[in-house]
Amino acid sequence: MDDLPEKKKGTKSKKRSSSSSSAGVSRRDFLKISGVTAAVPLVNEVSALAAADQVRELGPGKVPITLSVNGKKMNAQLEPRLTLLDALRDKFELTGAKRVCDRGTCGACTVLMDDKAVYSCSVLAIDAQGHEITTIEALGEPGRLHPIQQAFVDNDAQQCGFCTPGFVMATKALLDRKPNPTLEDVKHGLGGNFCRCGTYAGMRLAVLQAAKTTKGA
């Protein structure tokens, strides 16, 4: 739904008119429209095909991909089907983000993409190009923990710890957005992640502690 105001803005912009097809809808706009009202044929078939013509075909073999991860440019030859998660874990050895459900349900793979929490199992590496990716590894490390990570330790908000990096990143995104969260905000902000050991009691306290200790950080 966030797309609607953007689209309105787009119709007025010069950039749009230069890149749009003769039917008056760019490919990006077409995707946005179809995303909002998938069943309504807003464009005719011809214009959709015309839009598709401009797409550069990639793969199925490996293609050069450049990602910006934790402030560093990372280059690799990757298949376009590879997810951002698998690229981080298997190609760049950033294994903090975990593959658990592998379908955008559990949040164990949460990373920040331009400061927004995303499920990296549900983003293709190729689509993550041009965005700034932040993983758990960038926050801190033992001996130099980020206040959120320290709060997870202090409040024992982890047991087996497999879900923990995802929760820490979700907390980061939450606190960036809402520096003074209520308990309800915490439940909502971390509602996209699952823990199996059952560490939510400590986690609630951890997020509230982190909110205090990250002030001004």
Partner 1 sequence: MADETTKYTWPDAGERTLIGKRVSRVDGPAKSSGRAKYTYDVHRPGMLYGKVVRCPYAHAKVSSVDTSAAEKMPGVVAVHVIQSPGTEIHWAGDDIVVVAATDEGAAEDALKAVKVEYEPLPHFVDDFTQPKNVPEEHGPMDQEDFITMLRNDAPDPQIISALQTRGITFKPEKRLLDRLRENEVSESVISALQAAQVKPSEDKAEKRYRKEAEQTKGDPDQGFKQAEVVSEGVYGCPVITHCCLETHGSIAEWPDKEHLFTHISTQNVSGLAGQFAQALKIPAGNVHVHQDHIGGGFGSKFGIDRWGAYTAEVSRKAGGKPVRYMLERAPELEVAGCRPSGYAHVRVGAKKDGTLLAWESESWGTGGPGGGGPPPMPYVVEIPNQRKQHVAVLTNIGPARAWRAPNHPQGCLITMAALDDLAAKLNMDPVELLLKNLSLTQRADVYREELAIASDLMNWKKNWHPRNQGGSGVVKRGLGVAIHTWGGRGHNSNCALTIHPDGSVDIKMGSQDLGTGTRTAILMVAGDTLGLPIDKIQLNIGDNEYPPDGGSGGSTTIGGVSSSTRRAAVDARDQLLAKVAPALNAQPQELEIVNQVIRVKSAPSRSMNWKDACARLGTQPIQVLGKNPGPGDLISSGVGGAVMADVSVDTETGIVKMNKMVCAQDCGLIINMKTAESQVYGAMIMGIASTLYEEKIMDPTTGAMLNPNMDFYRLAGIGDVGELVVHMMTGKGYDERGPIGLGEPPTVGPMAAISNAVANAIGARVPFMPITPDRVVAALNENEGGSHAAV
Q: Among residues 57 and 93, whose Cβ is nearest to partner 1?
A: 93
Q: Among residues 36 and 101, whose Cβ is nearest to partner 1?
A: 101
d(CA 57, CA 183): 47
DSSP state, residue 181: -
What x/- string results for residues 91 through 110 when contact with partner 1 is judged by CB under 8 A? Answer: --xxxxxxxxxxx-xx-x--
CB of 210 to partner 1, least distance (A): 11
Report whether 166 contacts 109 (CB < 8 A). yes
* The one segment of 36-44, 50-58, 126-134, 200-208 that binds partner 1 by CB under 8 A: 200-208
Q: Among residues 33 and 203, whose Cβ is nearest to partner 1?
A: 203
CB of 51 to partner 1, least distance (A): 29
- 7 makes contact with partner 1 (CB under 8 A): no
Q: Which residue carries 């953007």 as its tokens? A: 6
d(CA 61, CA 27): 24
**Distance in Å from the first CA to the final CA of the chain:** 32
- 201 makes contact with partner 1 (CB under 8 A): yes
- 134 makes contact with partner 1 (CB under 8 A): no
Q: Among residues 61 and 216, whose Cβ is nearest to partner 1?
A: 61
Residues 64-83 touching partner 1, rule: CB under 8 A, are 79, 81-82
Q: E-assigned strands of 15-167?
A: 63-69, 72-78, 110-113, 116-119, 132-134
Given 26, 70, 193, 209, the residue binding partner 1 (CB under 8 A): 193
CB of 25 to partner 1, least distance (A): 33
Task: Compute the 3-state secondary structure of the chain and give helix, strand, coil in percent, each to the nearest 5.
Answer: 45, 15, 40
Q: CA 47, 50, 56 angle in degrees (round to 5)?
A: 145
Q: Among residues 46 and 160, whose Cβ is nearest to partner 1?
A: 160
Nearest to 162 by CA among 194, 140, 138: 194
Nearest to 140 by CA among 131, 128, 156, 152: 152
- 195 makes contact with partner 1 (CB under 8 A): yes
Residues that bind partner 1 (CB under 8 A): 79, 81-82, 86, 89-90, 93-103, 105-106, 108, 135-137, 139-143, 145-146, 148-150, 152-154, 156-165, 168, 186-188, 190-191, 193-204
